[in-house]
Structure 1
Amino acid sequence: MIEKDTYKTIVKASPEVLFKDKNSKFYGYAFPVTTEEEVKTHLEDLKKQHHQARHWCYAYQLGKSENEYNFRANDDGEPNNSAGMPIYGQIQSFEVTNVLIVVVRYFGGVKLGVSGLINAYRTGAQMALEASKIVTRTINVKYVITFDYKNMNTVMRIVKEKKLNVINQTLELRCELIISVRLKEATSIYEIFDHLYEIDIKTLND
């Protein structure tokens, strides 16, 4: 089985969306995030912006592939699983990652019941994602290739033949190339360079 080497995410923060039910207002937001620190910052900003709101419920998912996903859903005082998980369900439904969705609630004086809350938070999250630009990105592996100047032609020939993406290069007596390769091609590219005499290749961890 070939490991999937693409993922879907959003490019920029969504515009604010609004869902109303029985006088309660639910403001939905989607943000691109890659760290828990960014999640915290967005939540703090929204709490300042909506300081009179009652609940700031959210869910996020970080990571580019299933084996590295890190997610959290938070009901923020609403009944158990009535807010965070319905929001997270929309992240799964749209198959996006590296994303934070927050739905801010202003209570309108009428209780919605658990099923009403689930519907409202799910709808707020859905509207925020529908208002976002979703893109597909590739999962890439970065390699550092080091070699003496005399082996430059050999390396550059492979770079050209394989249409490799060079993201940085230092071409002196001792040369260094940093290349970015799609995950599904990574092993075969690594083996090509690894079998060459006087040329070193190693994985670059960000």
Structure 2
Amino acid sequence: MRSWLPQGFFARTEIEVKRSRFLATLARADSEEQARGVVAQVRGTFPDARHHCLAFIIDLPDAQPIERSSDDGEPAGTAGMPMLEVLRGAELGHVVAVVTRYFGGVLLGTGGLVRAYSDAVAAVLADTPRVVPQRRILWGLDVSPAEAGRVQGALLNRGLEVVDADWGATVRLTVAVADPDAALPVVRELTQSELTPVDLGVRIVEVPLAP
């Protein structure tokens, strides 16, 4: 599975080519609607620009990703598709790129436009943090309030992520597990019982990708 941008990520950078300014905006988008919302935001920020070219990739579970691009008035194939190719080459999903152009009075030609739009996206991608989506099984562990703090701390120390704690007469700790076979002996050791976790389903967690 490809890497994603972190939740809420938004960045912008600018390059200049023969006096034309190319402002590249990069953002996280989890749906086509969110991606088009970013495009609308950029248009609203730079309403006097001649072009707002776009490309986005939205990953879908167990299906082909949604991929869209637009040249927004530039010669066909010189902006949106080159931008999309840069995103594909970076192996990114849940991402939208918008490149806003202010014309500088010098024609760049089709090859020059392809390079400029590609370079603008590559520039805003440089050193971008990423996360990797990973599947986790959720377990519910019911422990006494007196033991909850100790068990939660011990689980964290053993590398098991506690994603929620619901306090009541008993405390339901929700734990995200990557390897159930390896985690079960750890859970029973730390709870000092033959506790059988409650299956709470599956979730996708986003793990930071090491630089």
TM normalised by structure 2 equals 0.70
Corresponding residue of 1:134: 129
Corresponding residue of 2:190: none
Coordinate RMSD, CA, aligned:
3.6
Query: What percentage of aligned pairs have identical amino acids?
Result: 21
Corresponding residue of 2:199: 201
Tell me which of 140, 144, 150 is aligned to 1:145.
Answer: 140
Corresponding residue of 2:47: 51
* 1:94 aligned onto 2:90: yes
* 1:60 aligned onto 2:79: no
Report the CA distance between 1:119 and its aligned residue. Answer: 1.0
Q: Please list every run of 5 or more consecutive structure 2 residues that lacks an aligned counterpart in the other structure.
A: 188-193, 205-211
| In structure 2, C-alpha distance between the alignment counterparts of 1:7 and 1:123, rounded to whole Å | 21
Q: 1:63 is matched by which residue type in structure 2? A: D
Contact in 1 for aligned 2:14/2:21 (Cα 8 Å): no
Q: Deviations over 1:50-86 (max 9, x none)?
A: 2121110011223388856333222222233221111
| In structure 2, C-alpha distance between the alignment counterparts of 1:35 and 1:189, rounded to whole Å | 35
Tell me which of 68, 71, 77 is aligned to 1:81.
Answer: 77
Distance 1:187 1:112, change over 3 A: farther
Contact in 1 for aligned 2:53/2:98 (Cα 8 Å): yes
| In structure 2, C-alpha distance between the alignment counterparts of 1:83 and 1:187, rounded to whole Å | 47
Tell me which of 101, 121, 130 is aligned to 1:125.
Answer: 121
Report the CA distance between 1:129 and its aligned residue. Answer: 1.1
Q: 1:25 is matched by which residue type in structure 2? A: R
Q: Deviations over 1:113-159 (max 9, x none)?
A: 322211111011111112x532344524251426586xx89xx5994
Count matched residues: 192
Contact in 2 for aligned 1:147/1:198 (Cα 8 Å): no
| In structure 2, C-alpha distance between the alignment counterparts of 1:114 and 1:174, rounded to whole Å | 67
Query: Superposition pairs for residues 173-184 of structure 1, below 5 Å?
Result: 173=169, 175-181=171-177
Q: 2:56 is matched by which residue type in structure 1? A: Y
Contact in 2 for aligned 1:144/1:176 (Cα 8 Å): no
TM normalised by structure 1 equals 0.71
